[in-house]
Amino acid sequence: MKNKTMAVLAYITIIGWIVAYLEYKKSTEQSKLVNYHLGQALGIFLSYLLISILGGIILSLIPALAIVFYVALFIPLILLLFGVITALNEVERPVPLIGKLFEGKFNFSAKTI
């Protein structure tokens, strides 16, 4: 599988992320591009999980805020689209809003020190 394909696949559902991760681990030439986009995609998925959990807790206490949290759940989807676009262009650019938080936090290469 090509590096560009693995980078894009990382953003397409959690199953796509797992497939891209396994293919990346199997490859002999581990690309920095794929490593970067695996980290960005994982950061977006973790953010979505956090928003969902916090939203569930807050909505159980204050149901009137439902529309705010339903709109907030679209933000990770939009960030995934930005990630796909940057992966298609083969650029290592963080996604808006939260990309800088996850830059360099995850290292998926087999060559760890």
DSSP state letters, 75-87: HHHHHHHHHHHHH
Q: What is the mean pLDDT of the chain?
A: 87
Please state, in angstroms and as integers, the Cα–Cα distance from residue 98 to each residue in 53, 71, 90, following that order.
18, 17, 19
Closest CA to 38 of 88, 89, 107, 98: 107
In the chain, % of residues over pLDDT 90: 41
Q: What is the value of pTM for the model shown?
A: 0.83
- Domain assignment present for residue 23? The answer is yes
Q: How far apart are CA 3 and CA 1, in angstroms?
A: 7
Give the number of other CB atoms < 10 A from CB of residue 72: 15
- Domain assignment present for residue 110? The answer is no
- Number of structural domains in the chain: 1
What is the span of the domain harbouring residue 79? 3-102
Q: How far apart are CA 21 and CA 12, in angstroms?
A: 12
- Domain assignment present for residue 71? The answer is yes
- Domain assignment present for residue 113? The answer is no
- Domain assignment present for residue 72? The answer is yes
Q: Report, as an integer, the average pLDDT of 16-30.
A: 89
Residue 7 predicted with pLDDT over 70 = yes
Residue 55 predicted with pLDDT over 70 = yes
- Domain assignment present for residue 112? The answer is no
Would the CA dihedral through 18, 110, 35, 100 be positive or negative?
positive
